Amino acid sequence: MTTGKITLLSAGPGDLDLLTIKAAKALALADIVLLDDLANPGIVSLAPRARVIRVGKRGGCKSTPQAFIERLMQRYALKGLHVVRVKGGEALLFGRAGEELAALRRAGIPVDIVNGISSGFAAAASLGVSLTHREHCQGVTFITAHKQDHGEPDWSALAATGTTLVIYMGMTRIERLCTSLMSALPACTPAAVVQWAGTQAERRWLGTLDRLAIDATDAGLGSPAVILIGPAIGEAMQWVAQPAPIHQINQEPFDAQRAA
Amino acid sequence: MTTGKITLLSAGPGDLDLLTIKAAKALALADIVLLDDLANPGIVSLAPRARVIRVGKRGGCKSTPQAFIERLMQRYALKGLHVVRVKGGEALLFGRAGEELAALRRAGIPVDIVNGISSGFAAAASLGVSLTHREHCQGVTFITAHKQDHGEPDWSALAATGTTLVIYMGMTRIERLCTSLMSALPACTPAAVVQWAGTQAERRWLGTLDRLAIDATDAGLGSPAVILIGPAIGEAMQWVAQPAPIHQINQEPFDAQRAA
């Protein structure tokens, strides 16, 4: 029996032009595409040979169970097929790539990983700022507000690093998150929210930490969005009033409400 | 006078297939390419119309002064040309995108930003690990060991976050860095070094924090490399002994000593 292979493919933030060339090549050769709901479904146009299976949340339904997704990948790979598992953003940042990789390794199935653009970087491009402007910081922390045990991240430890904070999955708990950060950072710390970063439906808010929870919510911003906090983000304030010549989107519209 | 425009373009870690489609499109239309030495010089094959100007370090020479690069970009853009400024890795992570963006905004020149793959993500792909495996951590911090004021990062604050640490420009000060981290993290904390991540010349070391400085140096690893530290990196230990079916490189060789 010939064993196929699995490509864990990062679909980026939504704009299909932000896929890598390597991703496009893998899709062109795919027999099976397992499509995460956080990826732009238009991506299937790049996989003309493939049978497409949608996994992940649809509407109000529950997620496809992780174990089922893992079994599905293995079943097709063991038939000798090239399975492309499409994950929104960068596969190695959040999502459950770690668990999927471990399961596939245990099953002895070769896995190729194709990197991509995470929505935090697309958000920075939209704001026109470096995440690590060296006059302001010397690094950046990507963090999810959603802990596996439903606890809170240690916001004061994160603030103490002086790095720019890029928070994923934080909009549903933005008030608590801001209260915690306000006890560790100045109220005037620059903050931004970019919703649907890197898609045609992109929206953003820019202000300061003390206004973040109220104003971003009042502006109608919600999930999926990234929250960016730190002095480096403040650089955007110098040109955000001008028509911002930033981050062109050259793609067909898609259901951006589902793009991370 | 027609004002041209500038595209700040992320060249990724070296493999030209890891460029985004958007980057390839921008290069195809470029009149002028300003090429960072940390980018794969083979990238110019994608810019057939462009005049190519190399900037950055060459051999033992000093860097092209930042102010000169900024003036050069502005001069060509003000002639109505499309200038593509190619930066290694992801333009918005380290490098000096912040300063370049500020200078261009002051000059009123439109800037488009094209995201790319940073070498830290390529290193994770090489190791076959998620940077944020949720059984181990809830985030990742990208940090440069090289502070603007030549001081040290606050390693204990960084360790206290519990995030995976991905350290850029750390190989020349790896001993001091490890000594500082050893006072904040267990000696058995998984650690890895990936040199020339995402290029054909890629080399890597995987072990624990207490052996990092000595063993990675003994193995001949040096700049440019990324250092990865944290329990999530330890996942690689489960399959690193096997022939690792990871991260194919499909490109011509290039002077990988210069790729970040």
Judging contacts by C-beta atoms under 8 Å, the chain A residues touching residue B103 are none
Averages of pLDDT over runs of 10 residues in chain A (260 residues) are 87 96 98 91 96 74 76 94 96 92 91 97 97 94 84 93 96 94 97 93 95 94 95 88 38 39
Would residue B62 show up in a list of annotated catalytic residues for this protein?
no
What's the average model confidence in pLDDT over B191-215?
A: 94
Inter-chain touch A121–B90, beta carbons under 8 Å: yes
Confidence (pLDDT) at B1: 55
Burial B181-217 (b: 16+ CB within 10 A, else e): bbeebeeebbbbbbbbbbbeebbbbbbbbbebbebbe
B82 beta partners = B5
* CB within 8 Å of chain A, chain B residues 5-24: 5, 12, 15-22, 24
The CA distance from B142 to B151, in Å, is 17
At B67-84, the pLDDT tens digits run: 888 899 999 999 999 999
pLDDT tier, B149 (very low <50, low <70, confident <90, very high otherwise): confident
Is A255 assigned a catalytic role?
Answer: no
Percent of residues, chain B, with pLDDT higher than 90: 74
Q: Is B57 a catalytic residue?
A: yes
Q: Structural domains in chain A?
A: 5-114 (3.40.1010.10), 119-238 (3.30.950.10)
Q: ipTM of this model? A: 0.90
C-alpha A98/C-alpha B216 separation (Å) is: 25
Establish how many alpha carbons lie within 13 A of residue A118's alpha carbon, considering only the half-sphere containing its beta carbon.
25
Average pLDDT over residues B145-173: 90
Look at residue A61 in the predicted model and tell me its pLDDT: 52
Determine which of A130, A144, A166, A233 to mutate to test the interface with B (most B C-beta atoms within 10 Å).
A130
Which residue stretches of B80-202 are H helix? Answer: 97-106, 119-127, 155-160, 174-182
Tell me the chain A residues in contact with residue B245 when contact means C-beta distances shorter than 8 Å.
5, 110-112
Look at A122-136, B129-143, B227-241 and tell me which has the smallest mean pLDDT.
B227-241
B56–chain A Cβ distance below 8 A for any pair: no
Average of per-residue pLDDT across B35-42: 89
Round the average pLDDT of chain B to a whole number and report it. Answer: 88
* pLDDT value, residue A179: 96
Average pLDDT of the residues in B161-171: 96
pLDDT higher at A69 or B61:
A69
Q: Chain A contact for B150, CB < 8 A?
A: no
pLDDT number for residue B65: 82
